[in-house]
């Protein structure tokens, strides 16, 4: 039904409260992380040069303080709607996985191009933070952090908590809010683009199935391929070794390097073919399904007027503060 004036006011307060709770979680994260990092810098400053330890210094406050606080506030203070469960067949799951990877690769390429153009405009390259992070981590830490912990916690925080509490205003509203907040939370432009796109696709799957296990497993798959597997393959080819050999200009050094890393390059070539295949197939499937109207989003219990929807959902104090904070973080990253 169309929302009455009272319902529209309630909706704006509802989204504002959600925004403020996510801001509170960020504040709690820094209130614990900053003193923790400061203490380590005094007692064991050499630890801060280890990427594995710096990730732990961020994970512990986030997963032990910030996210539990957010879960408590959202479940206690923001009413939710229980989604209906709908089974997904094995074939549908495979198609969803291919589309997920295709959208991820396409949006990642777009994000990297955008970041490159901004870097060229300002006269210097913009650091790809996720690539730098992966290079600094032990494979076991990548597996634990990126493939296991992050998908489980992020799907609960940015899919279940948000979608369950926004779907009454329409599936489209829930999908967009979930994706945008998820993208902004990453705090850099490289990840914002593909995280927002994948966040919306996973939110779509969640509103249609009501099964968080599906989105968690797809999130794990993406992080496994893009984070863990790609990191292992980059280590196998020793790209820095190749660049060093090429810079020397010694043909014998290049031949020696290639003979030592031929297996790694073969595997990396196969991986690139896989990425290209998923990119093309995923995009084709997405376009075909979109043309066949397979991505239909249903109206909610309360219908927000189209002209006021963005204002009610995003232009409120809580969401504005949350959004502006992360936009500033993204801008600071671009200026580094």
pLDDT at 243: 67
Is residue 124 exposed (0-12), middle (13-18) or buried (19+ Cβ within 10 Å)?
Answer: exposed
Confidence of residue 264 (pLDDT cuts 50, 70, 90): confident
pLDDT tens, residue by residue, 140-188: 999 999 999 999 999 999 999 999 999 999 999 999 999 999 999 999 9
Confidence of residue 333 (pLDDT cuts 50, 70, 90): confident
Confidence of residue 245 (pLDDT cuts 50, 70, 90): low
Give me the domain span that covers residue 322. Answer: 5-335
More confident: 96 or 125: 96
pLDDT at 254: 73
Count Cβ atoms below 10 Å from residue 9 Cβ, excluding itself: 12
CA 34 to chain centre: 23
Q: How many domains does the chain divide into? A: 1
Structure tokens at 93: 């799951």
Annotate 55-81 with three-state secondary structure. Answer: HHHHHHHHHHHHHHHHHHHHHHHCCCC
Q: Dmax of the chain from CA atoms? A: 77
What are the percentages of helix, strand and coil residues in the chain, rounded to 5?
85, 0, 15
What 8-state DSSP symbol labels residue 49?
G
Q: Is the pLDDT of residue 94 over 70?
A: yes
Q: Is the pLDDT of residue 279 over 80?
A: yes
- Report whether 243 contacts 199 (CB < 8 A): no
Residues 6+ apart with CB under 8 A from 35: none
Residue matched to tokens 């279940």: 160
Q: Is the pLDDT of residue 251 over 80?
A: no
Structure tokens at 68: 């539990």
More confident: 48 or 4: 48
- Report whether 71 contacts 161 (CB < 8 A): yes
Q: What gap in Å lies between CA 135 and CA 129, rounded to an integer? A: 10
pTM for the model:
0.92
pLDDT tens, residue by residue, 2-39: 668 889 999 999 999 999 999 999 999 999 999 999 99
Q: Is the pLDDT of residue 242 over 80?
A: no
The neighbouring-strand residues paired with 193 are: none
- Report whether 117 contacts 101 (CB < 8 A): no
More confident: 261 or 220: 220
SS3 (DSSP) at 28 = helix
Confidence of residue 249 (pLDDT cuts 50, 70, 90): low
What's the rounded mean pLDDT across residues 233-253? 74
Count Cβ atoms below 10 Å from residue 213 Cβ, excluding itself: 10
pLDDT tens, residue by residue, 106-146: 999 999 999 888 888 877 777 776 777 777 889 999 999 99
């Amino acid at each position: 039904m169309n929302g009455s004036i009272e319902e529209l006011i309630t909706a704006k307060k509802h989204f504002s409260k959600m925004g403020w709770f996510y801001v509170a979680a960020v504040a709690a994260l820094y209130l614990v992380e900053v003193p923790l990092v400061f203490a380590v810098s005094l007692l064991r400053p050499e630890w801060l040069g280890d990427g594995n330890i710096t990730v732990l210094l961020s994970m512990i406050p986030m997963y032990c303080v910030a996210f539990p606080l957010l879960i408590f506030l959202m479940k206690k203070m923001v009413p939710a709607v229980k989604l209906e469960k709908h089974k997904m067949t094995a074939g549908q799951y495979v198609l969803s996985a291919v589309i997920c990877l295709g959208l991820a690769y396409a949006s990642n390429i777009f994000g990297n191009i955008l970041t490159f153009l901004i870097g060229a405009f300002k006269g210097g390259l913009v650091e790809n933070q996720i690539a730098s992070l992966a290079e600094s981590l032990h494979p076991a830490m990548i597996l634990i952090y990126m493939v296991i912990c992050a998908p489980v916690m992020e799907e609960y925080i940015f899919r279940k908590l948000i979608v369950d509490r926004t779907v009454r205003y329409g599936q489209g509203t829930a999908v967009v809010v979930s994706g945008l907040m998820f993208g902004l939370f990453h705090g850099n432009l490289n990840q914002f683009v593909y995280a927002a796109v994948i966040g919306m696709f996973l939110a779509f799957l969640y509103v249609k199935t009501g099964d968080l296990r599906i989105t968690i497993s797809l999130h794990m798959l993406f992080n496994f391929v893009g984070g863990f597997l790609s990191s292992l393959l980059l280590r196998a080819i020793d790209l820095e070794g190749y660049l060093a050999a090429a810079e020397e200009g010694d043909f014998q050094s290049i031949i020696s390097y290639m003979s030592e890393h031929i297996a790694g390059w073969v595997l990396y070539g196969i991986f690139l073919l896989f990425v290209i295949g998923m990119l093309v197939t995923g995009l084709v499937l997405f376009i075909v399904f979109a043309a066949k109207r397979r991505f239909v989003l249903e109206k909610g219990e309360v219908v927000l007027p189209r002209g006021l929807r963005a204002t009610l959902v995003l232009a409120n104090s809580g969401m504005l503060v949350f959004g502006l904070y992360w936009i500033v973080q993204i801008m600071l990253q671009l200026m580094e």
